[in-house]
């Protein structure tokens, strides 16, 4: 496999028929939500607390996702700020029991640590 993912495998999930758009392909919003979940899983560990998504930048859809594909979201740290964490997320699929991996989507996501009053909280580095 020449296209190697970067970062930590944060979530792995199978695309189901309910995740499609009216044309029958997997809906882009579903893909973004899986990446968002993966980034949240990764950033919660760093923040040691609750995080919310503040920005999703430069997201590219490189290739389609089909029902039955296994989506794998890899997260790598870009930057830890005062209250925010920026990560780069790459989403790959495994298809049809083959030992191939296709990069379908990638983008930069930023999360903010929140306190119990829903205000930004400092991250201990
Ligand atoms: C996230 C949120 C608390 C930020 O509020 P805010 O008043 O802008 O807070 P601050 O100005 O203190 O900024 C907090 C951090 O977010 C960053 N930030 C805020 N707006 C940003 C923007 N538009 N682009 C990039 N970074 C941004 C700031 O740079 C800061 O990072 P730092 O502390 O590491 O330097 C607020 O916008 C919010 O509640 N948004 C809704 C979040 C949400 O519901 N997400 C979807 C569901 S999880």
- 114 Cα–ligand 1 center, Å: 10
Helices and strands, number each (H, E), in the chain: 1, 5
In angstroms, the CA 83 to CA 51 distance is 10
Residue to mutate (ligand 1; options 112, 117, 119, 122; most atoms within 8 A of CB): 112
CATH fit for domain 8-113, picks 3.40.30.10, 3.40.50.1000, 3.10.129.10, 3.40.50.880: 3.10.129.10
pTM above 0.85, yes or no: yes
Least confident of 49-53, 62-66, 105-109: 62-66
Least confident of 64-68, 86-90, 99-103, 110-114: 99-103
Whether 120 lines ligand 1, by a CB cut-off of 6 Å, is yes
């Amino acid at each position: 496999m020449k296209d190697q993912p970067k970062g930590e495998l944060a979530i792995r999930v199978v695309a189901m028929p309910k995740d499609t758009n009216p044309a029958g392909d997997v809906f882009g919003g579903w893909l973004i939500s899986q990446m968002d979940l993966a980034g949240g899983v990764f950033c919660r560990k760093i923040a040691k607390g609750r995080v919310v998504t503040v920005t999703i930048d430069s997201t590219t859809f490189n290739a389609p996702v089909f029902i039955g594909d296994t989506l794998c979201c890899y997260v790598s740290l870009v930057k830890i700020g005062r209250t925010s964490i920026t990560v780069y997320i790459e989403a790959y699929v495994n298809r049809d029991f083959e030992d191939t991996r296709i990069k379908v989507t990638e983008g930069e996501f930023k999360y903010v640590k929140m306190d119990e009053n829903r205000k930004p909280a400092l991250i201990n580095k």
